[in-house]
Chain A
Amino acid sequence: MTPILEFRDLSKVFFKGEQRVHALAHVTAEVEEGELLAIVGPSGCGKSTLLNLSAGLMEPGTGEVLYRGQPLTRVNTQVSYVTQKDNLLPWRIVEDNVALPLELGAHAKLSKDDRRERIARYIELVGLTGFEKHYPSELSGGMRKRAQLARSLVYEPDVLLMDEPFGALDAQLKLVLQAELLRMWEGTGKTLVFVTHDLAEAITIADRVIVMSSRPGRIRAIEHIDLPRPRDVFGIRFVPGFGDYFERLWSALREDIHQGQEV
């Protein structure tokens, strides 16, 4: 089966003023349809860049990104993207933010009733019922993430890209949202690419973890996580296999974190 997303020898350079930043170097990887892939790496190693490339928002320097076997030449509207920054439209209430994708492109064909039903269903799925009429500025950080998630799911894309979605949340809330994300994802057959700098989070939720090196980002290790599903995010770190995965991946990650500190 062709992988749903494929990175072929990707490299990317940015200009920051006069300085060149080598963000990615020879990244080759595949994302299988239906898997939950976590990408872990020190900050600044090009994780967001990789997602931006997958969404077709920028062009690779060298190499190519394939979606269902076809090279990406423009914005990839088959995926949905929860970016690192909060990006709900601040002038729209929750309900209208969630409705946004259904006003655009091919999704706009949905009938009014279907649309209303879907919006309500996904708002309920992420646990925001009762907050439909609130503006983003009236929500907590966790609730804004939930709203973003509802907005990304409402048009039922095949692939969901998430960039450090729970990075800014406190430890307890993070676990709660991980659990909810798994509950929503398990059994849907959708593909989820989840970027994080938290190794434990990656092992907790993913089928497969990719560890990236510090800048320029390369792939340092790939590991299948064969822990049973459905997973209990609160208890999984005490499951026997968890520690082994953690140690192996941590040793791959560690070298770079020390390097990063010297720079």
Chain B
Amino acid sequence: MAETVASQAGVESRPPIDEVFLVDPSVRARRRQTVIVAVARIALAVAGLLAWELASDRLISSFWISSPSAIWSALLRFTADGQLVPAVWVTLLETAAGFAAGGAAGILVGLAFGISPIIARILDPYLVALNSIPRVALIPLFILWFGIGFETKVLFAATLVFFPVFLNTFAGARDVDRDLIDVIRVMGASRLDVIRRVFVPSALVWVFAGLRMSIPFALIGAVIAEMFTSNEGLGYLIAVTANQYDTAGSFASLLVTTVLGLVLTWGVSQAERRTLRWRSNNA
């Protein structure tokens, strides 16, 4: 007992860890669960890949399902012949631009709706109508208007991004606590102050949820438009490999597209965590 006290007094900068944090059954159970989950996930991935590799050409022709090793060499081939990096780059640019344009428009319209109920009532039926258009059907029109270049793809990605961001921002702006608004008005806030200091920050939680949700939409939009216009990007790579019956190549481009989507989503989540630090800090 006396020993513990003495040793604790020795390390003043670091608070001593109570023994209970190491041995309490709840702590150990928690740790065990984390390990089980990690191991199971890896095992599942390995087993899946192995089964795929073994099934290929034994159970099902590799023409249909290719195989992990063939996909890997296709990936190396694309990298070596200089197709992959430019394709990723183009798709990334289109996705980012479409995301930015659609996101900005969604936030602006969502805030306007939230702040002015009259605007919301007037425009509501039009937005419902616009949202019901099957978006892919617009691509031929966009090509007609803007050609098969960058603009068509960005615009299409933006139309997919707009609605989730808009709907979330609108919900967020409606969710703003009336009490906060009252209190800041008594402090002498102008209308603009109320928007800047209460509406926008308060809606931000919802805005980010919308943005995070629509990153995959931006990527889908860019890829689909590329498949239509058939000149560059990952969508083009996917289409062209499939047309050539290059199953491995198709899978490889899909894989890269998926990874790109994951990376972008991760990026937005990071930005969200940083901006909404006050939420993750809940003690």
**Closest Cβ–Cβ distance, residue B201 to chain A (whole Å):** 5
| Number of chain A interface residues as a range | 20 to 34
Given contacts A87-B180, A89-B198, A104-B193, contact A57 B188 (CB under 8 A): no
Q: Which residue in A57, A87, A90 is a CB contact (below 8 Å) of B278?
A: A90
In the complex, which residues of chain B have a beta carbon less than 8 angstroms from the beta carbon of A92?
278
**Any chain B CB within 8 A of the CB of A216?**
no
Q: Cβ of B183 and Cβ of A83 under 8 Å apart?
A: yes
A63 to chain B, nearest CB (A): 21
* Given A91-B276, A135-B278, A135-B281, residue A83 in contact with residue B182 (CB < 8 A): yes
Contact residues in A for B180 (Cβ distance below 8 Å): 87, 89
Task: State which of A71-79, A225-233, A255-263 sits at the interface with chain B.
Answer: A71-79
Inter-chain contact B177/A87, CB cutoff 8 Å: yes
Q: How far is the CA of A107 from the CA of B182 in the complex (A)?
A: 17
Distance of A104 Cα from B177 Cα, bound (Å): 19
Interface of chain B: mostly helix, strand, loop or mixed? helix
List A contacts of B197 (CB < 8 A): 89, 100, 103
Q: Are B201 and A138 neighbours in the complex by a CB distance under 8 Å?
A: no
Are the C-beta atoms of A91 and B188 separated by less than 8 Å? no
Considering residues B177, B187, B190, B201, which has the most beta carbons from chain A within 10 angstroms of its beta carbon? B187
CB contact list, B195-228 vs A, under 8 A: 197-198, 201-202, 204
Q: Is B189 an interface residue (CB 8 A)?
A: yes
A89 to B185, CA, bound (A): 14
- Report the separation of the CA atoms of residues A57 and B182 in the bound assembly, to the nearest whole angstrom: 7
Find out whether the CB atom of A76 lies under 8 angstroms from the CB atom of B186: yes
CA distance A56 to B185 in the complex (A): 10
Among candidates B179, B188, B202, B281, residue contacting A77 with C-beta atoms closer than 8 Å? B188
Asked if B184 lies at the interface with its beta carbon under 8 angstroms from chain A, I say: yes
Complex: A118 Cα to B174 Cα, angstroms: 34
Q: Annotate B264-283 by CB proximity to A: 1 below 8 A, 0 otherwise.
A: 00000000000011110111
- Picked from A81, A104, A106, A137, the residue with its CB within 8 Å of the CB of B282 is A137
Q: 6 A-B contacts, Cβ less than 8 Å apart? A: A75-B186, A81-B186, A104-B190, A105-B189, A135-B281, A137-B281
Interface residues, chain A, with chain B CB atoms under 8 Å away: 52, 55-57, 75-77, 79-81, 83, 85, 87, 89-93, 100-101, 103-107, 135-138, 155
**A-B interface, 10 closest residue pairs, ranked by CB to CB distance from nearest:** A105-B188, A77-B188, A101-B187, A135-B278, A91-B278, A138-B283, A104-B188, A137-B282, A81-B186, A104-B189
Instruction: Please list the residues of chain B having a beta carbon within 8 angstroms of any beta carbon in chain A.
Output: 177, 179-180, 182-190, 193, 197-198, 201-202, 204, 276-279, 281-283
